[in-house]
């Protein structure tokens, strides 16, 4: 069986598997170089809200994911900014 390389599957900090393949990205900061300023807020077709953040990795835009409440997702303000 061939692996589908178009899937966007993540595991949250509390070990839940979430498929973000068809999720809508509500907002993000994907500026390079990667760092703590990177984040993304997703809404899955099942209305699960996921926050992806970068813990300081220079090799991956996002490396930490957690499920958050709809209100938190819609009003999220990321605390980090890219340093000039």
- pLDDT tens, residue by residue, 22-51: 999 999 999 999 999 999 999 999 999 999
Is the confidence at residue 76, as pLDDT, over 70? Answer: yes
- Is the predicted pLDDT of residue 2 greater than 60, yes or no? no
The model's confidence at residue 3, banded by pLDDT at 50, 70 and 90, is low
Helices (H), the chain: 70-74
Closest CA to 28 of 42, 12, 43, 17: 42
Starting at the edge strand found earlier in the chain, the sheet holding 64-68 runs 24-29, 39-43, 49-53, 64-68
Q: What is the pTM of this model?
A: 0.91
């Amino acid at each position: 069986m061939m692996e589908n390389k178009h899937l966007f599957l993540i595991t949250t900090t509390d070990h839940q598997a979430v498929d973000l393949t068809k999720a809508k990205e509500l907002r993000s900061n994907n500026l390079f170089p990667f760092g703590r300023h990177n984040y993304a807020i997703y809404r899955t077709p099942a209305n699960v809200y996921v926050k992806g953040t970068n813990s300081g990795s220079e090799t991956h835009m996002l490396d930490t994911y957690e499920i958050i409440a709809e209100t938190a997702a819609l009003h999220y303000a990321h605390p980090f900014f890219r340093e000039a």
